[in-house]
A and B are shown apart, each in its own frame.
Chain A
């Protein structure tokens, strides 16, 4: 509990820091309103990605892979690239934020569910998932590579907005829509928090304890993918966020109770985004996408963690 309140404190401090740093009090109302908008978007993304990643990791019994790392992000990018290259007459799809949002969210959820349902029904071993993940990721990114060369530099600049998560240009109405969708889905996940404690023991133990493992997992995968897809469609891909948040929560809280883990992940997710965005705005002067910053930190942490877990 002490550690949970520590995390809570970190979140509050980063929130305060982000909202009030470098404040111009003459136009306080305007600045605070703009910043609050971004904060709400960050909270939606941080909480959605955190919750879904933790759930995904617990049910697949691994601490390394996340839906984003397994190719969901490159799929999103491929969709955005395809819209501009294949259907240049439908460029409105990229420009109309509402259409783009709904199509991206729906398609991502659909494709991810199909792929992972197929994978999961075939074999629930992590080894198998890694393979499919590598393969899917490589295929999507080799298609992306070609599309990226084909488009003109002007269009490329347009797509670049979609390539990296950006909290500065989020649509207000879409924030509300995502809040409603993800809020409803999150309730589903949170209600299953005790079941998660059992599922995280693995397939054999769960079945032994009387849980219909395969059915429950399939039922949980859908909310996981909805959360990731909606938040990706809202701001763009933040590949390492989920990985970082879920692992950090586990390391700090050192518990297997998902009630606490869920709260912890959300807080880490939100504070990472707040602190990252803070640095981007005040230190890098917007010259660095937040997802790249998180990739650098997340990647380093990942390698550190892998080494620590496997120390000789």
Chain B
């Protein structure tokens, strides 16, 4: 019997969505205090308070973060035409962190919005430097691009360290930058909803990014305003990074691994894959978050640690399989 390709594609997306919903429900229900379903809608009850100040914000922000991080990773990989680039290995996360450090050290005003703005601004600057530099690389060899990103990232981080060391808030900053959802409660996570704006843009420009991935001269030939598409990609990624760094902290590997996983089974067409990538990002982040809450229950391991270690194991297995002489 012939099953057409679109059918399989739709089925896969359906499965991913189903899995995501199941995981999200589990995520809502897991916690130190068990919720009574009957009381959730009952204002004033303990279950109601816990559900609306802690559980729901947490699950929502995981969904937004997973979606945002993996899709901005995908966009970065497409516009730099390199599978090893991601927000954490291209300096744009380091840029957002520098922005926060600069704000803390030099400007005496504390507002989340201002912080977002600084994180966005610095992330944008570093990302623009990165894309500018890789555009000037003659041989886009596989390793040179991520290497350049890592170095740029290291350079920016050393400036952050300098600022934090000078003003003696290095440990505070490191705690802040270390991804964790445990502090996500209502009243202090709402900024993460801003991710919806760049994500909408990402879906609108999905086709343009796919075309841009064939290179400047080719895509210009096809009638694409290449420079503008690259700029939009960089802006999308910077907004996402700023939101994530301010609200959650940095989460390693996710932006790198998820797009590669999807490419393994669905090929390279961004326009078709973008939803898969986002959904898979959410699923992986939900699972990691559940693990981070359950391994040493009732305490928590920060999500950055779980994702970092899981990512390493995943990578080492891939390398072990693929790198045989």
Chain A residues in the interface with B (C-beta under 8 A): 64, 121-123, 126-128, 130-132, 134-136, 138-139, 141-143, 145-146, 148-149, 153, 156, 160, 164, 239, 287-289, 292, 295-296, 299-300, 302-303, 306-307, 310-312
Contacts and interface: CB of A to CB of B under 8 A. Distances in A.
A307 B133 contact: yes
A148 B180 CA distance: 14
3 closest residue pairs by CB, A with B: A142-B308, A299-B155, A295-B158
Interface string B300-325: 01101101110110011001000111
- Interface residues on chain B, size class: 35 or more
A62 to B, nearest CB: 9
A160 B170 contact: yes
A307 B305 contact: no
A149 B302 contact: yes
Given A149-B175, A149-B178, A303-B148, A131 B315 contact: yes
Given A130-B143, A288-B165, A303-B152, A145 B312 contact: no
B139 interface: yes
B136 interface: yes
A141 B154 CA distance: 13
B161 interface: yes
Interface of B: 84, 88-89, 133, 136-139, 142-144, 146-148, 150-152, 154-155, 158-159, 161-162, 165-166, 170-171, 174-175, 177-178, 252-253, 301-302, 304-305, 307-309, 311-312, 315-316, 319, 323-325
Given A153-B171, A295-B158, A145 B136 contact: no
Given A130-B146, A312-B136, A138 B308 contact: yes
A288 B312 contact: no
Contacts of B147: 64, 130, 306
A contact patch SS: helix
B143 A310 contact: no
Contacts of B165: 164, 287-289, 292
Contacts, number: 123
A146 B162 contact: no
Given A142-B308, A295-B154, A128 B323 contact: yes
A263 to B, nearest CB: 27
A39 B84 CA distance: 41
A289 B161 CA distance: 10
A123 B307 CA distance: 27
B305 A145 contact: yes
A310 B139 contact: yes
Given A292-B165, A307-B133, A145 B174 contact: yes
A193 to B, nearest CB: 28
**Residue from A134, A141, A311 with most neighbouring chain B CB atoms (10 Å):** A134
B301 to A, nearest CB: 7
Contact of B324 (A122, A135, A287, A292): A122
A300 B156 CA distance: 10
6 contacts: A138-B253, A142-B252, A149-B178, A149-B302, A311-B136, A312-B137
Contacts of A299: 151-152, 154-155, 158
B208 to A, nearest CB: 24
A100 B150 CA distance: 31
A296 B177 CA distance: 21
B252 A138 contact: yes
Contacts of A138: 88, 252-253, 308, 311-312
Given A122-B324, A130-B146, A143 B308 contact: yes
A156 B151 CA distance: 26
A164 B178 CA distance: 20
B319 A146 contact: no
A78 B252 CA distance: 17
A126 B312 contact: no
A303 B151 CA distance: 7
A292 B158 contact: yes
